Amino acid sequence: MDERLAERIRQLKEEKDAVILAHYYVDGEVQEIADYVGDSYYLSKLATKVKEQVILFCGVSFMGESAKILNPGKKVVMADACADCPMAHMVTPERIAEVRSEYEDVAVVCYVNSTAEIKAVSDVCVTSSNAIRVVKRLAQKHIFFVPDENLGRYVASQVPDKHFIFNDGFCHVHKSIEAEAVKEAKRLHPDAPVLTHPECTTDVLEISDFIGSTSEIIDYATKDDRTEYIICTEMGVFFELMQKNPGKRFYTVGHRQFCPNMKLITIDKVVEALEKLEPEMVLAEDVREKAFAPLQKMLELAE
Ligand code: SF4
């Protein structure tokens, strides 16, 4: 990156008392200037610990909302207010109320990839790295898993003593990774294990060698002795994979592992957001308070 631009970002961070958090799915050059890069779980935990007064979030809206829910006293600024996750909107409070009225002993388990409005009517939040651990620790017999059906089905397969109700939400990036394309990648790279995010469909999970969150995929590839891997998640993760494993090779499956929402975030937008401290993430206080409890419960149960 241009050294003058990097210096400008350093100055602005100091001047504004800001810290930059970025998700693994944003462009590599944005990850490069971030103070912390990680998956949703890591970033939501971290957001409660940073000392700076301004959190600049390079990710989609629900991530900035989570940072604001956990840190009401801090200013959370989004690198791009239009970067949003379609899956976060694929369940409604009305549907949750309907399921609550059908089952007495039900826990609404909400993937963090959801709006603050949905978190506010849920019992507990989960991320792809802690969902199994959290659901196992819940007392309720019935689990309404929202909004992602694929992650819900994967968690259900690992927690067979609970009864799951699924919602038909999905991530279009992970859903576009098809089992046939994975088989073709295996044919081309027979020595490469398939590392897959659980937002992928069940038929892809069934032919995978490892299933985990983005950070678990990075850890797996970094600790593993082999030298090549087929990666079934958003391609932004390749930046960290290659940084940590310069001698290894990573393959995509087709050409659709690309989240257009995450890629809205650019260095220029980061600079502009730092200069203006806008767009700010603002939440109604009653929604923020209600959404805090399930996120807090997740942080407790996941430990
Ligand atoms: S990769 Fe999928 S879940 Fe993540 S922000 Fe993009 S659309 Fe949403």
pLDDT at 256: 83
Q: How many CB atoms lie within 10 A of CB 52?
A: 16
Asked if residue 171 has its Cβ within 6 Å of ligand 1, the reply is: yes
The mean per-residue pLDDT over the stretch 238-249 comes to: 96
Using the predicted structure, report yes or no on whether residue 266 has a pLDDT greater than 90: yes
Closest CA to 136 of 101, 112, 161, 99: 161
In whole angstroms, what is the distance from residue 182 CA to residue 232 CA?
Answer: 8
Q: What percent of the chain has a predicted confidence (pLDDT) above 90?
A: 90
Residue with the smallest CA separation from ligand 1 atom 5 is: 85
Task: Tell me which of 47 and 297 has the higher pLDDT.
Answer: 297
Q: Domain-by-domain residue ranges, the chain?
A: 3-83+262-282, 87-170+287-302, 177-251
Using the predicted structure, report yes or no on whether residue 137 has a pLDDT greater than 80: yes
Distance from chain centroid for Cα 52: 23
pLDDT at 115: 97
Confidence label for 42 from pLDDT (cuts 50, 70 and 90)? confident
Pocket probe for ligand 1: among 61, 214, 261, 263, the residue whose CB has the most ligand atoms within 8 Å is 261
Asked if residue 62 has its Cβ within 6 Å of ligand 1, the reply is: no
Residue with the smallest CA separation from ligand 1 atom 2 is: 171
Asked if residue 239 has its Cβ within 6 Å of ligand 1, the reply is: no
In whole angstroms, what is the distance from residue 95 CA to residue 92 CA?
Answer: 5
Let me know: does 275 contact 63? Beta carbons within 8 Å. Answer: no
The mean per-residue pLDDT over the stretch 199-223 comes to: 97
pLDDT at 58: 97
Asked if residue 25 has its Cβ within 6 Å of ligand 1, the reply is: yes
Residue with the smallest CA separation from ligand 1 atom 8 is: 85
Using the predicted structure, report yes or no on whether residue 46 has a pLDDT greater than 90: no
Instruction: Using the mean position of ligand 1's atoms as its centre, give its distance from the Cα of residue 30 in Å.
Output: 17
Strand order in the sheet with 194-196: 210-211, 194-196, 228-232, 249-251
* Domain over 87-170+287-302 is classified CATH 3.30.70.141: no
**CA atoms 180, 236, 300, 293: torsion sign:** negative
Summarised one tens digit per residue, pLDDT across range 169-194 is 999 999 999 999 999 999 999 999 99
Residue in this structure with the two tokens 């032919």, named with its chain if needed: 207
Using the predicted structure, report yes or no on whether residue 87 has a pLDDT greater than 90: yes
Residue 160 is classified by DSSP as T
pLDDT at 279: 97
Instruction: Using the mean position of ligand 1's atoms as its centre, give its distance from the Cα of residue 25 in Å.
Output: 9
Residue 228, helix vs strand vs coil: strand
The mean per-residue pLDDT over the stretch 240-255 comes to: 94
Asked if residue 240 has its Cβ within 6 Å of ligand 1, the reply is: no
pLDDT at 48: 82
Let me know: does 88 contact 113? Beta carbons within 8 Å. Answer: yes
- Give the angle 40-19-7 at the CA atoms, nearest 5°: 125
In whole angstroms, what is the distance from residue 262 CA to residue 291 CA?
Answer: 23
In whole angstroms, what is the distance from residue 73 CA to residue 130 CA?
Answer: 27
pLDDT at 240: 96
Task: Determine the atom of ligand 1 nearest the C-alpha atom of 171.
Answer: 2
Instruction: Using the mean position of ligand 1's atoms as its centre, give its distance from the Cα of residue 63 in Å.
Output: 11
Chain mean pLDDT for the chain: 95
220 by Cβ neighbours in 10 Å (0-12 / 13-18 / 19+) ranks as: middle
Task: Identify the CATH number of the domain defined by range 177-251.
Answer: 3.40.50.10800
Let me know: does 23 contact 59? Beta carbons within 8 Å. Answer: yes
Asked if residue 113 has its Cβ within 6 Å of ligand 1, the reply is: yes
In whole angstroms, what is the distance from residue 285 CA to residue 69 CA?
Answer: 9
Q: Which CATH number fits domain 3-83+262-282: 3.40.50.1820, 3.30.70.260, 3.40.50.10800, 3.30.1950.10?
A: 3.40.50.10800
Residue with the smallest CA separation from ligand 1 atom 6 is: 259
The mean per-residue pLDDT over the stretch 133-155 comes to: 98
Pocket probe for ligand 1: among 57, 58, 84, 113, the residue whose CB has the most ligand atoms within 8 Å is 113
Q: How many CB atoms lie within 10 A of CB 161?
A: 6
The secondary structure element, H or E, covering residue 163 is strand 163-166
Instruction: Using the mean position of ligand 1's atoms as its centre, give its distance from the Cα of residue 198 in Å.
Output: 12
pLDDT at 32: 94
Determine how β-strand 249-251 pairs with β-strand 228-232. parallel
Task: Tell me which of 130 and 1 has the higher pLDDT.
Answer: 130
Let me know: does 31 contact 43? Beta carbons within 8 Å. Answer: no
Q: How many CB atoms lie within 10 A of CB 122?
A: 26
pTM for the structure as a whole = 0.94
Let me know: does 194 contact 210? Beta carbons within 8 Å. Answer: yes
pLDDT at 299: 86
pLDDT at 74: 92
Using the predicted structure, report yes or no on whether residue 261 has a pLDDT greater than 80: yes
Instruction: Using the mean position of ligand 1's atoms as its centre, give its distance from the Cα of residue 171 in Å.
Output: 6
Asked if residue 83 has its Cβ within 6 Å of ligand 1, the reply is: no
Contact partners, residue 96, CB within 8 Å, separation at least 6: 108, 118, 121, 122, 144, 146
